[in-house]
Chain A
C-alpha cells in the first residue's frame, strides 16, 4: 500500500466519523417530495411535470432529541421560494409510527409543506429543502424534478377520450376478438373497434413502490405524469396518518380545466368511488375512503370541471344521519355507507394553495341533493338516463355498489336471466350507452373541449374471480364503448381517443379450445392444444354479444396468477358473490358461488393456485395501448405509463404536425 492510499483510507475513516457524528448532532431529512432517484449519471428523473402543472413540495425532518424544527424553506435551482400566504404548513402530530426507512419516528419530527408549486421552465431543476433546528443547527437535502417542454406545432387536440379496460391485457383483447369476430384459416374475420386504431404501443405499468400496481396508481400515473404508491391516487406518499393531506399532483383534468376550461367526464361500470374513476379527480392516499372521495367529486368540481359522473355506488351518496349526530330527525334506513371515518377535512395549506374546498366530516350529507342543487340531473336507471335528454351536467348512479356485468345485464334484456333483478337493479345501462350519453352532455355547447375517462371496470373484477365468460363479455361491452368513442372522433377530428389498461389481471392466456364434445369429467386433458384447438366459433346475436359462450369447441383460458379454483371449462350461470351488494347472502343470491374455490366444486376439477388468497391477482406484464385521432401518432413504441400524460400534453397544448 503506498502512502497515497494510506492517506486516502485515513481520510475515508475521518469522513465516516464526521458523517456519523453529524447525523447524531443535527436534524435529519428522511423524505423529500417529489421523490428523486439517488444521484447518479444514468438515473432517470423520477418526478416530471408539464409546464405550470402544480404539485406540492414536502419534507419530513427529524430534530435531535430535545430539539424541535424552528423553520424551513424550499429552494429551486438555488433560489429560495417565496410561498403565497397560508400555503406552507408544518405538521408534528398525527405522524406514522415509523418513517419511510422503517425506523421509529423520533419525537418532534415535522412534516413541512409548500403547496401548489409550479414551474414553467422546461428542463431538470434542483429542489432543496433547508430546515433549522431550535438550537440553530441546519440541515439541507436536495433532489430534482423535470419540467417537460411542449413543442408548438400544428393542430391541437381539443377533446381527449381515455378508455381504460381495467385489467385488460393482450389476452383479454385477443379473447374478445376470437369470440366476437371469429378466426378462420389463421385470420381474424373482423376486428375489434380498438384493433382498428392506427397506432399501438406497449405500456409499462409499475407503481412507485412495486412492479405490480393496483388500480389506484395504475390510473393516477396516466393522468398525473408521476408514479404513485399502491392504494394512492393523485398524491405522493407522506409520513402522516391523514389520508387526505398527502402532497398533491395536479391531475390532467384539473390542469386542462384551469388552463383551457375543459370539462371532465367520468364513466365506469364500477362503484364511482373505486380507484380508477377516483384517480381522475380525487387526491387521497387511501382508495377505500369512499365518503371523502365522493364528496370531493362535487366539492372540487370547480377545480376539475366535473360535468358527467356515471357508474354505481349510490350507497356513498345517501345521508347517514345517525341518532347520535342528529337526534331530532333520525335517518330512515337507506343503506347509506357514509361514515365519519372515511370522510375528509383538508388542512388549511392545501385549501389555500389549491383553492380546494375544505371538506367536512358529514356522513349525514345528502350528496344526491347537493349534486342536484349544483345543477346536475340525477338519473338512477337506463330509462331515467334516456329520459334526461341532454342536460348541462349529469350524475348517474345505477347500482348500490358495482354495477352488474354485461353477461348478466344482456341476459336480462334477452329475458333469460333475472340476476340483475335479484341484485335490486333491473334496468342498468350498458357501458356503450353510458359513453354515448356522456359524449352528448360533454360536447353540448362546448368550445373548450373535454377529457372523458370511460372504464370497463369488471374486466378486472371478473378476471380476479377467474370467471372467464364474464370478463370476455365485459371486454366485448368495453369494445362497444370504444366504437362509440371512435365514431365520435370520426365526426370530431380534433379528438384524441386512447384505449389501454391500467395493468394486466390474472395472467390470462388463451391456452386452446375444448373438444367438440365435452367429457363428463373435465380435466386438463379436456384442453385441445395447438392444431387440435382449431378455430372456435360463436354465434353473435343482434345485440352484439354471443348467443351463448358454451359452444362446442369453445375457447379455453388459463391463468398464470391464479388462486385455487374449480374448473369446468363451461360458463357459470351465476356470478360469484360480491359482499358489497345489498342482497348478498340472502336468497336467491346466496345460491351463487361464494368464491372461485367453491364455485363448481362439485362439477369441476381443482386447479391449485400459485398465489395466496381466494382471487387471482394483477401482474406486471406490459399492456397494449391503441390510439386514434388527433395526436395518435405519438403513441408508439414501449413507454412508461407516466409518459402517456406527457404525450397527451403535447397533443393538447403543442399539437401535432
Chain B
C-alpha cells in the first residue's frame, strides 16, 4: 500500500516535471507561450494572471528569430528585410521582461528568454541577448513599471537603429508601447 502511494506520488511529480520541461522547451518564443515553465511558476508564486491583450488589428506579429540574417556576416549581425520593413509600424511581440537590478522609469527590456540586466559588477557586459527589444513608455512617468514575470504579449510602434538608452545600453530595436499595455502593466496585470 505504502509503495503504491509513493509510486502514485512519483508519477505525479514526474508528470508535472515533464510538463514543466516540455513547455520550457517549446516556448521561450513558442506558439503556446502560456505553457512556459516560468509563466507557470510565476503564476504560482504571484497573483498575476495573464489577461488578454487588447485587440489590435493593425499589429503585425514579429518574432525574435526574425530580427537577424543567418549566417552571421564578418561585419556582425544584419537586420532582416522583415525587421527593416516594419520600422515605424505597429507590431506585436511575445517575450520576457528582463529583471532589472535597478529598474528605470521609461523603459523595460523585452527578451527572448528570462534574463537579468544591469548587475553592477558586470559593467553592462551582462547577459542580454543581442535580440532584446527596449520597450519605451511615453510619457515615462515617475516610477518604473512593476516587474512582470512570465511571458508578455506587447504591442507598439517599432523603431530600429542604434540608440543610447538612459542606462548606458545602446539599443538596436525599440518598441513604443501602446498606452493600453502600459496601463495593464502599471496595474500589475500580465498582458497575454
Contacts and interface: CB of A to CB of B under 8 A. Distances in A.
Q: How large is the interface on A (under 10, 10 to 19, 20 to 34, 35 or more residues)?
A: 35 or more
Contact of B161 (A333, A368, A424, A581): A333
B87 to A, nearest CB: 10
B164 A325 contact: yes
Contacts of B160: 333
A322 interface: yes
A342 interface: yes
A333 B28 contact: no
B129 A582 contact: yes
A77 interface: no
Nearest to B111: A585
A214 B78 CA distance: 35
Interface stretch (A13-21, A313-321, A627-635): A313-321
Interface in B92-149: 95, 111-113, 115, 121-125, 127-131
A590 B170 CA distance: 24
Interface stretch (B42-50, B51-59, B62-70, B180-188): B62-70
B123 A583 contact: no
Given A330-B161, A586-B112, A601 B17 contact: yes
Nearest to B66: A586
A207 to B, nearest CB: 16
Contacts of A587: 29-30, 63, 65
A95 to B, nearest CB: 16
Nearest to A326: B162
B71 A425 contact: yes
Contacts of A526: none
Contact of B164 (A243, A286, A323, A424): A323
Given A318-B75, A425-B71, A583-B65, A341 B124 contact: yes
Interface string A308-343: 000000110010111111000011111111111110
B81 to A, nearest CB: 12
Nearest to A284: B123
B112 A339 contact: no
A371 interface: no
B29 A336 contact: no
A591 B64 contact: no
Contacts of B113: 577, 579, 584-585, 590, 594
B115 A579 contact: yes
Nearest to A592: B25
Contacts of A602: 14, 17-18, 21-22
B29 A586 contact: yes
A363 B111 CA distance: 23
Interface string B59-93: 00001110110111111111100010000000000
Contacts of A596: none
Contacts of B21: 598, 601-602
A290 interface: yes
B163 A323 contact: yes
A426 B20 CA distance: 32
Contacts of B192: none
B79 A332 contact: yes
Contacts of B95: 585
Contact of A339 (B65, B124, B163): B124
A354 interface: no
Contacts of B168: 339-341
A290 B125 contact: yes
21 contacts: A323-B163, A330-B162, A332-B161, A335-B68, A336-B162, A340-B164, A363-B170, A380-B73, A425-B71, A577-B113, A579-B129, A582-B72, A582-B129, A584-B113, A584-B131, A585-B113, A586-B28, A590-B113, A593-B25, A602-B17, A602-B22
Interface of A: 231, 243, 273, 286, 288-290, 314-315, 318, 320-325, 330-342, 363, 368, 378, 380-381, 384, 400, 421-422, 424-426, 577, 579-587, 590-591, 593-594, 598, 601-602
Interface of B: 14, 17-18, 20-22, 24-30, 37, 63-65, 67-68, 70-79, 83, 95, 111-113, 115, 121-125, 127-131, 160-164, 168-170, 172-173
